[in-house]
Structure 1
Amino acid sequence: MKNLVLAMGLTLSMASVAWAEGQTHHVAIHVDENDPQVMNMALNNVANVAKYYESQGDTVIVEVVAYGPGLNMYIPDKSPVADRISAMSLEIPNLSFAACGNTKAAMSKKAGHEIELMAEATVVPSGVVRLIELQEQGYAYVRP
């Protein structure tokens, strides 16, 4: 009986440590439209999720994945949200931006020169595949 009480006490102690440290949440946000409203809604979702979980004492890891026409979100001269992306990347910990390599290659070919992306964007081979990988890793999926 004494061992059972000790084990229960240890379990409760471990649970309270886990509770005090908060949870970690993972969110993938999908942008595939060249629409300023959609891009801003995606970034609003990022800001709201980060603010909410921070207020709960939790951590959130967010990755915004853009492909197709949504890749314009990361092209400095075309992006209507470039300033927001730059500011948010500095203000929100654990926020990353993934750019579809397939889309970038197609846009570069069509333009006749290499398309440059914002420094905050990391090129992944495929935006769709990246979303699949994130969901397989347990990320919640959001499409504004």
Structure 2
Amino acid sequence: MRVSRLLTERLPGYLIKSVCGFGSVSSMRLSVAAHRYSWTDCFALMKRSDALSFGLQLTRFHYRSKRLSRQKKTSIFMWNPIAVACVFLAALLLHESAWGAGPAAGGGANQPHRIVMHLNASDEKVQRSTLNNIKHLYQELGPQSLTVELVVHGAGLPLLTKKGTAFAAELADLKKTYGINYTACSNTMKTMQVTREDLIGEVDDTVPAMVRLMERQEQGWVYIKP
């Protein structure tokens, strides 16, 4: 009964005070406020810190309190060694479960990467660099682990036109080898009076570039602009 009461009524308050760094042990006396803390409060703190270090801190505090109690007879709360062991074990289990849970949703190591590449430059050096970067990404990660969509608009639109592109072979190779997606901005096409027939055959879609870029980022795609 004594250990049960210690674990459920008094210990949470002292855990909170210990983690929050309340001065010396002699200042950590039982108070009405300490009773208001619950195990939920303790575990919330443990999740925000390294649980294993948390458990070690509690063990150190236990032995410090024992030494002080021998020096002066005070009303300092004495921790039962069994209780300390239970808390340390709980901290260790929480630490292991946190590691076992793995990365948050959307960050799994085996989940395919999705990149939306934004290009609106007419400079052929920038265009070449963009295509090379895409190729290097595919070579590093592999087409099974990577999806890339190149969204082109503004001054960069000629890259995807039959008469304007200087990289027809490179665009075709990326499409054939890795399955990259090409999107041409429909608003830019209207402004430049470019029709669907004027575009290279590898283009997948014609939609407003800003809308597509917004949608992809809302869907969790990584946005890159060279």
TM-score using structure 1 length: 0.75
Q: Which has the higher contact order (CA 8 A, sep 6+)?
A: 1
Q: Which runs of 5+ in 1 are unaligned?
A: 1-11, 16-20
Amino acid at match of 2:156: G
Match of residue 141 from structure 2: 53
Rounded to whole Å, the distance in 2 between the matches of 1:114 and 1:91 is 24
Amino acid at match of 1:76: K
Match of residue 105 from structure 1: 190
Rounded to whole Å, the distance in 1 between the matches of 2:117 and 2:160 is 14
Match of residue 62 from structure 1: 148
Structure 1's consecutive aligned runs of 4 or more residues displaced over 4 angstroms after TM superposition are none
- Is the CA contact (8 Å cut-off) linking 1:101 and 1:124 kept in structure 2? yes
- Is the CA contact (8 Å cut-off) linking 1:63 and 1:98 kept in structure 2? yes
**Structure richer in helix, relative to its length:** 2
1:85 aligns with 2:171: yes
Tell me the alpha carbon deviations over residues 114-144 of structure 1, each in whole angstroms, 9 at most, x when there is no partner. 7610111133320111111111111111111
- Is the CA contact (8 Å cut-off) linking 2:183 and 2:207 kept in structure 1? no
Query: Which of the numbers 187, 194, 205 marks the counterpart of 1:123?
Result: 205
SS in structure 1 opposite 2:193? helix
Match of residue 35 from structure 1: 123
SS in structure 1 opposite 2:121? coil
Larger radius of gyration: 2
Tell me the alpha carbon deviations over residues 63-92 of structure 1, each in whole angstroms, 9 at most, x when there is no partner. 000000111110111111111001110011
Rounded to whole Å, the distance in 1 between the matches of 2:154 and 2:205 is 13
Amino acid at match of 2:137: V
Rounded to whole Å, the distance in 2 between the matches of 1:69 and 1:117 is 15
**Structure richer in strand, relative to its length:** 1
SS in structure 2 opposite 1:121? coil
Aligned-pair distance for 1:42? 1.1
Rounded to whole Å, the distance in 2 between the matches of 1:128 and 1:108 is 19
Rounded to whole Å, the distance in 2 between the matches of 1:134 and 1:104 is 21
TM-score using structure 2 length: 0.49
Rounded to whole Å, the distance in 2 between the matches of 1:114 and 1:64 is 17
Identity %: 27
Aligned-pair distance for 1:35? 1.1
Rounded to whole Å, the distance in 1 between the matches of 2:159 and 2:112 is 27
Q: Give me the CA root mean square deviation.
A: 2.2
Aligned-pair distance for 1:25? 0.3
